[in-house]
């Protein structure tokens, strides 16, 4: 897991997640850029998946458990489509904005776990 593929998606999701949380609680309905931000996250996670598969094939492995690492990547990949799908169905509810925020922030947490599993540093 290259550091760049940890830091970039982590901060991206923390910032967009916090923004969507504030906007949702302030009564804003979902907006196109929110779906776009989750699409970008999905793309970054796919890059993560492909990159780490290449690394593992090349002989590297997660410090703690490679299988667990990939379980996190694949589980995280399921979240953006589900959240955007939900927001499209209930696009007139501000709570959909909060749901998108929950998705982004959950992925941020999962990225931290992926990084811990990959590096073995739990500090």
Partner 1 sequence: MAKSSPRGASRVLVALYAVLALAATARGVYELIVKFQLAPLSYSLSLVSALVYIIATIALANANKPGWHRVARTTIAFELVGVICVGILSFSSPALFAHPSVWSWFGAGYGCLPLALPIFGLLWLRKHQAN
How many C-beta atoms lie closer than 10 Å to residue 79's C-beta?
Answer: 19
CB 11 within 8 A of CB 112: no
Of the candidate residues 20, 98, 104, 108, the single one contacting partner 1 (CB under 8 A): 98
Please state the closest distance from residue 11 (CB atom) to partner 1, in A.
19
Nearer to partner 1, 4 or 85 (CB): 85
From residue 1 to residue 30, the character string flagging contacts with partner 1 as x (rule: CB under 8 A) and all else as - is --------------------------x-x-
Please state the closest distance from residue 4 (CB atom) to partner 1, in A.
25
């Amino acid at each position: 897991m290259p550091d760049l593929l940890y830091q970039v998606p982590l901060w991206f999701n923390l910032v967009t997640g916090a923004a969507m949380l504030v906007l949702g609680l302030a009564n804003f309905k979902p907006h196109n850029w929110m779906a776009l931000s989750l699409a970008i996250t999905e793309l970054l996670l796919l890059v993560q998946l492909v990159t780490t598969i290449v690394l593992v094939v090349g002989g590297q492995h997660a410090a703690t458990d490679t299988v667990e690492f990939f379980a996190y990547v694949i589980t995280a990949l399921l979240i953006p489509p589900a959240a955007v799908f939900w927001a499209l169905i209930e696009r007139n509810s501000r709570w959909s904005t909060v749901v998108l925020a929950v998705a982004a922030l959950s992925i941020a947490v999962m990225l931290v776990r992926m990084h811990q599993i990959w590096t073995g540093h739990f500090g």
